[in-house]
Amino acid sequence: MTQMSDVVTGGGRVRPGNEAQGPGDPSLLGSPVYALGNNTAERQRLTQQAVEMYGDAAYLLDRTGIGAGQSAIDLGCGPRGIVDLLSERVGPGGRVVGLDLDPTSVALARSFAHDHELANVTIVEGDARRTGLPSSSFDVVHARTVLVNVPDPIAVVTEMVRLTRPGGWVATMETDMSTNIFHPPHPAWDRIQEIIIKSWQVDGADVLIGRRLPELLETGGLIDVRVEARADVFPPGHPRRTIRLDLIRSVRAKAVARGVASQGELDDLDQAARAHLEDPHTLALPHLFFLAWGRKPADGPYPSHRRDT
């Protein structure tokens, strides 16, 4: 368990992590906490996502009013998350914690913070549902594309609210994968959509979580909840034009192990879809993103939906 002294001082030794396991590994058939897994492809995707979605993250933080001297935590930060953006916002007198369950992502995030001289950032290993950190510790609690990947999102939201000080803010950004617009149509995308939905559902995760954010935040006990949506069309050459294929790559081994699709079918779909995207006339709007934020009341009590485990 991560000690609170690590959270305050940035102490703690980086532990070596394990790389992705092969498709034949029976552990792929288990019930993971994070539907996309912790393989190398997913870590690479998350690192790229941090760059591509920097503007949206900055916009979301603007809604919270986070500033110099405050404290913040990025739950499920992966290999980078938004710890650099939070570090800049709170300044030298502030404090930022990045938390992730995957030891390898924790090591990568620590290296990122060290290499970028983010002296006010501490990276810790922990479960976003049960962090073990003291209640009311942070002015802003943030999570991005975490709720879409867990089978019990209200457990994470409840923990986010618990960690937030009275009067502080919870901010989150989640996808809604019901949107699947590639025009002119191509049958490969219909099958890819089916595979994505089945791959998430088999873990009990909700690919439509974005539209549920306001109700989840309110159920968690927040007030002044607001929500906005983003519907981005990605032109040829944009790295997020292939996001659906990148997601398939992250769940590929698990999809094959669980019989959702075969290796050969995934290869064929990837080739057909990439050829379709290479056509400059193909319009690509792969999904919606919802940004939501809410404030913890200055006075309790706050509802709790956590199950004792």
In this structure, is residue 138 part of a structural domain?
A: yes
Provide the pLDDT for residue 270: 95
In this structure, is residue 16 part of a structural domain?
A: no
In this structure, is residue 104 part of a structural domain?
A: yes
In this structure, is residue 51 part of a structural domain?
A: yes
CA 228 to CA 211: how far, in whole Å? 10
Provide the pLDDT for residue 41: 61
Give, in degrees to the nearest 5, the angle at Cα 121 between 136 and 209.
60
In this structure, is residue 130 part of a structural domain?
A: yes
Determine the structural domain holding residue 184 and report its residue range. Answer: 4-11+34-295
pLDDT tens for each residue of the chain, 309 residues long: 333 333 433 333 223 232 222 223 333 333 445 555 565 666 666 666 667 778 899 999 999 999 999 999 999 998 899 999 999 999 999 999 999 998 988 999 999 999 999 999 999 999 999 999 999 999 999 999 999 988 889 999 999 999 999 999 999 999 998 888 999 999 999 999 999 888 888 888 888 999 999 999 999 999 999 999 999 999 999 988 998 998 888 888 888 988 999 999 999 999 999 999 999 999 999 989 999 999 999 976 555 443 333
Provide the pLDDT for residue 159: 97
In this structure, is residue 198 part of a structural domain?
A: yes
In this structure, is residue 196 part of a structural domain?
A: yes
The CATH number given to whatever domain includes residue 238 is: 3.40.50.150
| Beta-carbon-side half-sphere exposure of residue 2 (alpha carbons within 13 Å) | 30
Whole-prediction pTM: 0.82
Domain total for the chain?
1
The residue among 47, 81, 33 whose CA lies nearest residue 61 is 81
In this structure, is residue 230 part of a structural domain?
A: yes
